[in-house]
Amino acid sequence: MSTSKHNLSAKLILSGLLILTLALFAACSSSSSETENEEHNMEELEDMEHEEPEQSSGEHSDDSRIPNEGATIRLLAPDDGATFAEGDEIIVEVEVVDFELGVEGSHWHVYIDGASWGMVHGGSTDQALRGIEPGEHKIEVHLAGGDHIELEDGDSITVFVDAVSVE
């Protein structure tokens, strides 16, 4: 084989190896990014368990809920009809039966007066609500899977928040 043909063959082989190396590098980088994203998302979910849920003006729709199939969520606290002062922290505590919180993203949603107040991730069965305006309010809870689809039957109570008078 002549030297020029040999050099051409070597260049083609090196080019092919370079392309293959770049392709493998891109695939590994993509896989690494996906793993990092999954780890970041899991850290966010774990952190959310300890954070106050964000308030949302979005209202829920009963149309998108699925049957409970034996799972229940029941409000243990506060008591129905409880009264709080404006600025008080309202601790919502639930009891869950036949539903495993924290498995595959399962969690529960909190609504105030039909508007989403937030979600509680992990295995936590209590959540502090802050910044509730004075007046009568319906607090409602529903179980949800990792896909955020809620179960039909939740629980609700009514609480009262009294305005603090400034003297």
Give the C-alpha separation, 1 to 11, whole Å.
15
Amino acid letter for position 51: E
Residue 111 domain flag: yes
Using the predicted structure, report yes or no on whether residue 151 has a pLDDT greater than 70: yes
Task: Specify the higher pLDDT residue, 67 or 10.
Answer: 67
Residue 2 domain flag: yes
Residues 33 and 95 in one domain: no
Instruction: Look up the domain containing 62 and give its range.
Output: 55-162
Residues 85 and 37 in one domain: no
CA 111 → CA 21, 56, 58, 85, distances in Å? 52, 9, 10, 20
Residues 97 and 136 in one domain: yes
Number of domains in the chain: 2
Mean pLDDT of 45-67: 49
Task: Specify the higher pLDDT residue, 86 or 57.
Answer: 86
Task: Specify the higher pLDDT residue, 23 or 54.
Answer: 23
Residues 124 and 150 in one domain: yes
Using a pLDDT cut of 70, give the percent of the chain over it.
Answer: 60
Give the C-alpha separation, 121 to 124, whole Å.
7
pLDDT, one tens digit per residue, over 92-139 is: 999 999 999 999 999 999 999 999 999 999 889 999 999 999 999 999
Residues 43 and 68 in one domain: no
Using the predicted structure, report yes or no on whether residue 84 has a pLDDT greater than 50: yes
Residues 79 and 107 in one domain: yes
What is the per-residue pLDDT for 65?
A: 86
Residues 93 and 143 in one domain: yes
Domain with residue 94: its CATH number is: 2.60.40.10
Residue 167 domain flag: no
Using the predicted structure, report yes or no on whether residue 25 has a pLDDT greater than 70: no
Residue 114 domain flag: yes
Residue 32 domain flag: yes
